Amino acid sequence: MEDCRCGKTLQLSGGDRYLTSGTVFTIDESGIQMSQTTACPLDCYDACRIVIDEKGAIKGDKTHPVTRGYLCPHLNHFQHNERICTPRLHGETISMDEALDILIATLRETKPDHVLYYRGSGNVALMQRVSEHFFASIKAVGTSGSLCDGAGEAGVLLGRGINHVLTPQALTQSEVVVFWGRNPHVTHSHLLPFLEGKKIIVIDPVKTAIAKKADLHIQIKPHGDLHLALLLSRFAVIEGIYDRDYLEENASGYSDFYELTQTVRIKATLEKIDVSLGQIGAVLEMIQGKKTAILVGVGVQKYRNGADVVRAIDGFGAIMGLFGKQGCGVSYMGSSLEGIENPFTPFSNRVSKPTVDFSKYNCVFVQGANPLAQMPDTIRVRESFDRAGFKVYFGLYENETSRSADLVIPAKTFLEKNDIRSSYGDYTLQEMPQMSGNEFGISEFELTRRLCEAFRIVLESEEKYLEYFRSKIEYDEGTGYRSSRPNIAYEEGFAEGEFVFMDEVDLEIDTDEGFHFITAKYPKGLNSQFHRPSGVYFHPEAGFEAGESVLLASSVGSVEMEVRHDERLRQDCLLIYSGTPEVNVLTPPLLSYEGENAVYQEFKIKVTKI
């Protein structure tokens, strides 16, 4: 690991595991105090608790109920050699004061509705949102929708009204755990120790590590999940293993839902999604009378009907009476803000994030994101970003977006600023006090303070916001949790009183030519941060040699990539990991029908040898 180019960065050392930071301290009202623990704010379910030892090395916190002392390799890379050390304007180094003056002057001369604020998920701690307060107050345009989990979340909310998760601790009570389009070895590794002794079912087109260990793996055709969930529900009713008493009380629309499931043509559908009747019987047999948790990932909802897919899986959970019981339920990616009211001014004007047209704005402010790599339809995004007025990138690392920006403002890392970490995988709510000093970069709060001062916008002190978030923490055996957390998810029913089943469904299965496209998370990277993957993966028998180049084409674009082999894939699929440069040249500028989400896997891909 090398130093930052300007030589000011903190040193990484200790092989692969530890990071040695400089002075370890935290400032409070009584002066400077030694501080020991913080939390990792990377975009990840785990929200690991971190201990900084007396030598400044980063370690997992053994007392933490989820982390249990283990971190992951991403933390070794978060201060890698491409960290941005100095502000720059059109490639020329400038001071932070100059950068802020230029930003302020630009914002002053731009009509507010020509200013776009675009925030990504490079850091998911709560104070990242403080800058929204400024941009919303000047009436700039914010974004709505998501590149990530929005379709599925819309499906969850339509059925349940509120999105509660099953925490790793809640799973200790489960007898069967179903991973449905979710890859815990890569994206939620701290969950794994909680699975010991449980029966595992995996529904995933890829033979992931958890699928290899599973008692049952259904290697479904991508996008077959809606049909599978409806068929499982139908057979649960036919076989009489549904939870009738539960349904009468909590989900009385179940007979209409059962009727809806009867519109699925069994034989033709099973053929199309490549699932057998035997596998449906096996799932039902394994979960019958067992405490079952279904963990749904973002993999199932990267399609226009993603909300329906997740809602149908929820419907199956309801049919089996899984909600509101210990160790049971259906759990999707949660919301970090659930139960915490946003203290910052919200945007009154928003545009959909996955399809935003940057060229409409005279000033674009990008924070903690790399839209030029991670948004769908890269060619359109690139052109529209190029044609936008003044582009500002506020982040930690160089990437496609920093290289195309007019003004680059370096951020501070989470060790260098104060924050609070909420989680979308559990209910922990953790303090993240400043741990080390740093002469370069600016925190989100400080940047916002300077902007608010220039525009005479009222902003509370940093401590006041932190205190507000802190007031939502409830401690239990030394660990902080959101005070709003449910004891058992949905124990007290659903937001609308009852679970609301879907009442119509489009069962069409696309028959376009080409390979099914899977774009999933890469073990060594976090979207476009840290290690960037490369190449396109095929099953060895899919007809392509490892090392040869192929032209990949979808209806929006085409790109050349080198072939790699991966035996875990189906022969009719290709896989390009998230973070691969140019992957999103292939993905469409469309929104999910519900939830304004990106739909990365909507299109099939045609492949030609070159």
Ligand X SMILES: Nc1nc2c(c(=O)[nH]1)N[C@H]1C(S)=C(S)[C@@H](COP(=O)(O)OP(=O)(O)OC[C@H]3O[C@@H](n4cnc5c(=O)[nH]c(N)nc54)[C@H](O)[C@@H]3O)O[C@H]1N2
Q: Note the residues at the interface with ligand X (CB under 6 A).
A: 43-44, 120-123, 147-149, 180-183, 186-187, 203-206, 208, 220, 222-223, 225, 297-300, 367-371, 374, 394-397, 399, 411, 414, 518-523, 525-529, 578, 583-584, 587, 600-601
> Hey, which residues does 482 pair with through a beta bridge?
473
Q: Give dist(CA 541, CA 416) in Å, integer.
A: 50
Nearer to ligand SF4, 60 or 222 (CB): 60
Pick what 116 binds: ligand SF4, Mo ion, ligand X, none; C-beta below 5 to 8 Å, kind-dependent.
Answer: none
Nearer to Mo ion, 148 or 518 (CB): 148
Q: How far is the CB of 48 from ligand SF4 (least distance, A)?
A: 3
Interface with Mo ion (CB under 5 A), residue total: 1
Nearer to ligand X, 52 or 298 (CB): 298
Q: How far is the CB of 334 from ligand SF4 (least distance, A)?
A: 15
Tokens of 314: 């929820």
Pick what 58 binds: ligand X, ligand SF4, Mo ion, none; C-beta below 5 to 8 Å, kind-dependent.
Answer: none
Binding mask 130-159 for Mo ion (x = CB under 5 A): ------------------x-----------
* End-to-end Cα separation, the chain, in angstroms: 37
Q: How far is the CB of 188 from ligand SF4 (least distance, A)?
A: 8
Cβ distance 406 to 91 under 8 Å?
A: no
Residues 6+ apart with CB under 8 A from 473: 420, 429, 430, 431, 480, 481, 482, 483
Neighbours of 266 (CB within 10 A): 14
Q: Does 115 bind Mo ion (CB under 5 A)?
A: no
Q: Give dist(CA 389, CA 364) in Å, integer.
A: 7
Nearer to Mo ion, 120 or 433 (CB): 120
Pick what 40 binds: Mo ion, ligand X, ligand SF4, none; C-beta below 5 to 8 Å, kind-dependent.
Answer: ligand SF4
Q: How far is the CB of 357 from Mo ion (least distance, A)?
A: 22
Between β-strands 88-89 and 407-410, what pairing exists: parallel, antiparallel or unpaired? antiparallel
Q: Give dist(CA 451, CA 101) in Å, integer.
A: 9
Nearer to ligand SF4, 48 or 309 (CB): 48
Pick what 369 binds: ligand SF4, ligand X, Mo ion, none; C-beta below 5 to 8 Å, kind-dependent.
Answer: ligand X
Q: How far is the CB of 220 from ligand X (least distance, A)?
A: 5
Cβ distance 150 to 595 under 8 Å?
A: yes
Cβ distance 99 to 409 under 8 Å?
A: yes
What residues between 36 and 75 interact with Mo ion by CB under 5 A? Answer: none
Pick what 220 binds: ligand SF4, ligand X, Mo ion, none; C-beta below 5 to 8 Å, kind-dependent.
Answer: ligand X
Residues 6+ apart with CB under 8 A from 308: 155, 226, 502, 505, 506, 593, 594
How far lies 229's CA from each of 205, 206, 237, in Å? 15, 18, 13
Q: How far is the CB of 121 from ligand SF4 (least distance, A)?
A: 12
| Amino acid making up residue 443 | S
Q: How far is the CB of 167 from ligand SF4 (least distance, A)?
A: 15
Q: How far is the CB of 259 from ligand X (least distance, A)?
A: 25
Q: How far is the CB of 208 from Mo ion (least distance, A)?
A: 17
Q: How far is the CB of 441 from ligand SF4 (least distance, A)?
A: 20
Residue with the two structure tokens 């590149």: 147
Tokens of 500: 């609301």
Residues that bind ligand SF4 (CB under 6 A): 40, 42, 44, 46-48, 71-72, 74-75, 189
Directed axis angle between helix 225-238 and helix 277-287, to 10°? 60
Nearer to Mo ion, 26 or 578 (CB): 578
Nearer to ligand X, 85 or 298 (CB): 298
Q: How far is the CB of 244 from ligand SF4 (least distance, A)?
A: 41
Binding mask 85-104 for Mo ion (x = CB under 5 A): --------------------
Nearer to ligand SF4, 208 or 250 (CB): 208
Pick what 529 binds: ligand X, ligand SF4, Mo ion, none; C-beta below 5 to 8 Å, kind-dependent.
Answer: ligand X
Which element (helix H / strand E) includes 98? helix 96-108
- The one-character DSSP state at 382 is H
Nearer to ligand SF4, 233 or 331 (CB): 331
Q: How far is the CB of 448 from ligand X (least distance, A)?
A: 11
Tokens of 346: 């919200």
Residues 6+ apart with CB under 8 A from 463: none
Nearer to ligand SF4, 250 or 331 (CB): 331
Nearer to Mo ion, 137 or 189 (CB): 189
How many CA atoms, within 13 angstroms, populate the side-chain half-sphere of residue 274?
Answer: 14
Nearer to ligand SF4, 430 or 554 (CB): 430
- The one-character DSSP state at 199 is E
Q: Give dist(CA 462, CA 514) in Å, integer.
A: 53
Pick what 299 binds: ligand X, Mo ion, ligand SF4, none; C-beta below 5 to 8 Å, kind-dependent.
Answer: ligand X
Nearer to ligand X, 251 or 295 (CB): 295
DSSP of 137-168 = HTT-BEEESBSSSHHHHHHHHHHHSS-----H
Pick what 406 binds: ligand X, Mo ion, ligand SF4, none; C-beta below 5 to 8 Å, kind-dependent.
Answer: none
Closest to 503 measured CA to CA, from 159, 190, 160: 159
Q: How far is the CB of 601 from ligand X (least distance, A)?
A: 6
Cβ distance 79 to 11 under 8 Å?
A: no
Residues 6+ apart with CB under 8 A from 543: none
Pick what 356 binds: ligand SF4, ligand X, Mo ion, none; C-beta below 5 to 8 Å, kind-dependent.
Answer: none
* 3-state SS, one letter per residue, for 425-452: CCCEEEEECCCCCCCCCECHHHHHHHHH
DSSP of 474-516 = EEETTEEEETT--SSTTTT-BTTBS--------------SSBE
Q: Does 318 bind Mo ion (CB under 5 A)?
A: no
Residues of the shown chain interacting with Mo ion in the complex, contacts defined by CB under 5 A? 148
